[in-house]
Amino acid sequence: MEPFSIKTMKSIRLRPGKERSLQRRHPWVFEGSIASGKADAGETVRVEDAAGGFLAWGAYSPSSMIRVRAWSFDAAERIDRAFFERRVARAVALRSRLPVASNGVRLVHGEADGLPGLIVDRYADTLCAQFLSAGTERWKQTLADVLLHATGCKRLYERSDASVRTLEGLPAVTGWLRGDGATEVTITEHAWQLTLDVALGHKTGFYLDQRDNRALLQRWVQFGGFQNVLNCYCYTGGFTVAALAGGAAHVTSIDSSGPAIERVNAHVAINGFDAARSEALDADVNQFLRDALKTGRRFDAIVLDPPKFAPTAAHADRASRAYKDINRLALMLLQPGGLLLTFSCSGGISADLFHKIVAGAAMDAGGGGGEGGSAGGVDGVILQRLEGACDHPTTLVFPEGEYLKGLAVLKAA
pLDDT tens for each residue of 248-295: 999 999 999 999 999 999 999 999 999 999 999 999 999 999 999 999
Give yes or no for a contact between 45 and 78, defined as CB atoms under 8 angstroms apart: no
Q: Is 65 helix (H, G, I), strand (E, B) or coil?
A: coil
pLDDT given at position 208: 98
117, 161, 180, 189, 297 from 129: Cα distances, Å: 10, 10, 14, 20, 42
Class of domain 10-72: mainly beta
Q: What is the DSSP letter of 102?
A: B
Does residue 369 carry a pLDDT above 50? no
pLDDT given at position 298: 97
Annotated active-site residue in 128, 232, 234, 345: 345
pTM assigned to the model: 0.93
pLDDT given at position 318: 84
pLDDT given at position 9: 85
Known active-site residue 390? no
CATH 3.30.230.10 fits 81-184, yes or no: no
**Percent of the chain residues topping a pLDDT of 70:** 94
Q: How far apart are CA 400 and CA 26, in angstroms?
A: 10
Sign of the torsion angle spanned by Cα atoms 150, 152, 155, 161: negative
- Considering the chain, tell me which residue range(s) the CATH 3.40.50.150 domain(s) occupy: 207-411
Looking at CATH, the fold of the domain delimited by 207-411 is given as Rossmann fold (3.40.50)
pLDDT band at residue 314 under the 50/70/90 scheme: confident
Give yes or no for a contact between 367 and 373, defined as CB atoms under 8 angstroms apart: yes
Q: Is 290 helix (H, G, I), strand (E, B) or coil?
A: helix
Q: Is 132 helix (H, G, I), strand (E, B) or coil?
A: coil
- Considering the chain, tell me which residue range(s) the CATH 2.30.130.10 domain(s) occupy: 10-72
pLDDT digits 0-9 by tens, 81-93: 999 999 999 999 9
Diameter of the chain measured on Cα atoms: 73
Sign of the torsion angle spanned by Cα atoms 282, 286, 289, 291: negative
**Can you tell me the mean pLDDT for 323-333?**
96
Q: How far apart are CA 357 and CA 76, in angstroms?
A: 47
User: What's the N-to-C CA distance of the chain in angstroms?
Assistant: 63
- Considering the chain, tell me which residue range(s) the CATH 3.30.750.80 domain(s) occupy: 81-184
